[in-house]
Chain A
């Protein structure tokens, strides 16, 4: 599964931020618990320590001695005796207890009291009234060992902690949601120029190498990417320009030595007393030179076309008339191979175009169709209109193209699978020129094909208004 950069950014941030928030929450909660726990422990120890001083034993009766007029003292004793018990350590007998203790059911057996006395550590007890913390102190009054148990309720602490927990449970998801939304929006905002750059880049091809990506002037990383890409385009444009100039110069420079070669062979072949074999050989060499010259011509035309050095002259052209006149000119080619060549024009279909180049486009398409159609087949040129556009279909009943070949048929020097087309001549430049001519007329050319059944090339041109 492939996730977009934006989604990945948002998810990563969310996970990291979530972990951080959870860690911070856990830490603060832990510190709070520890703090409250220590406060409670201190307070219960203080109560137990203080209460010892007010205890008096008279026989088996335990009483509290304090100045009831002293508000502080009275308040302290009141607080300390809210939950307290005093046991006779030797017998385990309960000597005194606050009334609140009875419903809690905290009745200790003597061994338990002994254990309490020696452990000395606070003990938390859960009751149906909430949690309580008890400390146990051993003391001696009137030479009798006693055990004092003093407790404080933990309800307040527990309530505070639970409120804090609830707060966290509410706040953390909200914070995460807000974070996710913010990251989603920010990354979208930050990445939007990238999508735009991708769109602009996709629109650049070999004929529009002079285009550049927009640099926003923000001086940020995205501007840097755009500048770097523009620099690469610059180098590419330069290289392609050089290449085109080179192919033009090359074609040009090849012609003069070819002329010398051809002149020499032609003169030689005129010699008297030449054997028939030598004359044949010379003739074949001359044909090869002419073939080479034609190829150079085509390459030169293609190079000039691609370098934007060919300028078309536009005037109204009747496509139906043009198509039928081309068909007339090529009829004999079709007759020679028993191919039925038909023209189905729609009248009055006018485009603004260069008649010469449109003628060449049609000749190339029909010539191509004838080449790939076996004897007895059919080639039909059809001119139709669809709203604002005109269409020329060149349909044949030829050998057809495989899907792979159809996708590459307009590439320069492309030849279909040689095992199927070995007898057919051509450099593979005709259709690429067709595409160029169509593009110069703001039109398109496309191909549909059924291997073994035939091929249709369709040229779509805007109609003249």
Chain B
């Protein structure tokens, strides 16, 4: 994918660039908002990562410039503000997704992936190794054995399966499985991962859910 990163902090920008390049994306970086709109429109980017606090021209203005000409170009907004109001303001202004600093590079990749897959048909049966999730009947089997899950455990598993072989962060899990107010409850994700492991990994050969310290979790059949 070709990604445009508009971020005034050079260090942050260079880490984003390096992180995304490692995953095979082509990344251009701009450090201010002055030419950002023009460049986003003149080159055929797949996705834009936009900091809201920019010198020259504010992120909101850049966002409006882009939206007026390319309404479908996915834009992920970055900001140092995190309150709900600001998140809503960013999304209202036309952003497709929203991330607050500091963020995990793994989370940025996950969000890019999700945005690029947007509109693609979703599989109704997900498989990783001998684990199978039927998302229509909400049924889970491992090695042919049916497994009973509580609603939150099921939602967590489906989210991990849809992102299999990719790290997902706690913030992403909370956003998709719980609601925004759970960010204050420290260990809700750990507890659910734990109970999920007890049901789908315990007693089966290969553990599928792995913890990536400092990043989050990954569901994969690949050996560590």
Chain A residues in contact with chain B, CB under 8 A? 252-253, 255-256, 258-267, 269-270, 279-280, 282-287, 289-290, 293-294, 297-298, 300-301, 304, 310-311, 329-330, 332-333, 335-336, 356, 359-360, 363-364, 367, 425-426, 430
What are 25 A-to-B residue pairs whose CB atoms are below 8 Å? A256-B9, A259-B101, A259-B103, A260-B9, A260-B11, A262-B103, A263-B12, A263-B102, A264-B15, A266-B15, A267-B15, A267-B18, A280-B213, A282-B214, A283-B214, A294-B184, A297-B82, A300-B83, A329-B182, A332-B150, A335-B195, A360-B184, A367-B184, A426-B186, A430-B184
A-B contacts counted at CB < 8 A amount to 127
Most interface-central of A256, A264, A298 (chain B CB within 10 A): A256
Task: With CB as the reference atom, state the residue of chain A lying closest to B9.
Answer: A256
Task: State the Cβ distance, A323 to closest chain B Cβ, in Å.
Answer: 14
**Known contacts A259-B9, A263-B12, A263-B16; is A336 also within 8 Å of B191 by CB?**
yes
Task: State the Cβ distance, B25 to closest chain A Cβ, in Å.
Answer: 14
**Known contacts A284-B214, A363-B182, A367-B185; is A256 also within 8 Å of B12 by CB?**
yes
The answer for the CA separation of A133 and B138 in the assembled complex, in Å, is: 132
Task: With CB as the reference atom, state the residue of chain A lying closest to B101.
Answer: A259
Task: With CB as the reference atom, state the residue of chain B lying closest to A370.
Answer: B185
Picked from A259, A330, A364, A367, the residue with its CB within 8 Å of the CB of B102 is A259
Task: With CB as the reference atom, state the residue of chain B lying closest to A286.
Answer: B214
Do B104 and A262 touch (CB < 8 A)?
yes
Do A332 and B195 touch (CB < 8 A)?
yes
Interface residue? B41 (CB, 8 A): no
Task: State the Cβ distance, B86 to closest chain A Cβ, in Å.
Answer: 10
Interface residue? B54 (CB, 8 A): no
Task: State the Cβ distance, A255 to closest chain B Cβ, in Å.
Answer: 4
Interface residue? B124 (CB, 8 A): no
Known: A256-B9, A267-B19, A285-B214. 12 other contacts (CB 8 A): A256-B12, A259-B9, A260-B11, A260-B15, A266-B19, A267-B15, A283-B212, A332-B150, A332-B152, A332-B195, A363-B181, A363-B184
Picked from A265, A266, A279, A332, the residue with its CB within 8 Å of the CB of B192 is A332
The 9 closest A-B pairs by CB, nearest first: A286-B214, A283-B213, A263-B15, A259-B101, A283-B214, A260-B11, A255-B80, A259-B102, A258-B102
Task: With CB as the reference atom, state the residue of chain B lying closest to A292.
Answer: B102
Interface residue? B145 (CB, 8 A): no
Interface residues of B in 71-99 (CB under 8 A from A): 80-85
The answer for the CA separation of A286 and B84 in the assembled complex, in Å, is: 24
**Known contacts A269-B214, A286-B213, A364-B184; is A304 also within 8 Å of B83 by CB?**
yes
Do B102 and A289 touch (CB < 8 A)?
yes
List of A residues within 8 angstroms of B150 by Cβ: 332
List of A residues within 8 angstroms of B179 by Cβ: 359
List of B residues within 8 angstroms of A298 by Cβ: 184
Do A263 and B19 touch (CB < 8 A)?
yes
Do B185 and A425 touch (CB < 8 A)?
no
**Known contacts A256-B12, A280-B213, A425-B186; is A267 also within 8 Å of B102 by CB?**
no
The answer for the CA separation of A265 and B9 in the assembled complex, in Å, is: 16
Do A266 and B215 touch (CB < 8 A)?
yes
Interface residue? B110 (CB, 8 A): no
List of A residues within 8 angstroms of B188 by Cβ: 329-330, 332-333
Do B11 and A356 touch (CB < 8 A)?
no
Interface residue? B172 (CB, 8 A): no
Task: State the Cβ distance, A248 to closest chain B Cβ, in Å.
Answer: 9
Interface residue? B178 (CB, 8 A): yes
Task: State the Cβ distance, B17 to closest chain A Cβ, in Å.
Answer: 10
Do B187 and A333 touch (CB < 8 A)?
yes
Do B105 and A359 touch (CB < 8 A)?
no
The answer for the CA separation of A344 and B157 in the assembled complex, in Å, is: 30
**Known contacts A260-B15, A262-B102, A330-B185; is A287 also within 8 Å of B82 by CB?**
no
Do A286 and B181 touch (CB < 8 A)?
no
Task: With CB as the reference atom, state the residue of chain A lying closest to B99.
Answer: A259
The answer for the CA separation of A333 and B187 in the assembled complex, in Å, is: 8
List of A residues within 8 angstroms of B185 by Cβ: 330, 333, 363, 367
List of B residues within 8 angstroms of A290 by Cβ: 102, 170, 214
The answer for the CA separation of A266 and B102 in the assembled complex, in Å, is: 11
Task: State the Cβ distance, A132 to closest chain B Cβ, in Å.
Answer: 106
Interface residues of B in 1-52 (CB under 8 A from A): 9, 11-12, 15-16, 18-19, 22
Interface residues of B in 157-191 (CB under 8 A from A): 170, 178-188, 191
Encode contact with A along B197-224: 1 for CB under 8 Å, 0 otherwise. 0000000000000001111000000000
Interface residue? B116 (CB, 8 A): no
The answer for the CA separation of A294 and B182 in the assembled complex, in Å, is: 12
**Known contacts A270-B22, A297-B82, A335-B195; is A255 also within 8 Å of B102 by CB?**
yes
Most interface-central of A252, A287, A290, A364 (chain B CB within 10 A): A290
**Known contacts A263-B15, A285-B214; is A258 also within 8 Å of B101 by CB?**
yes
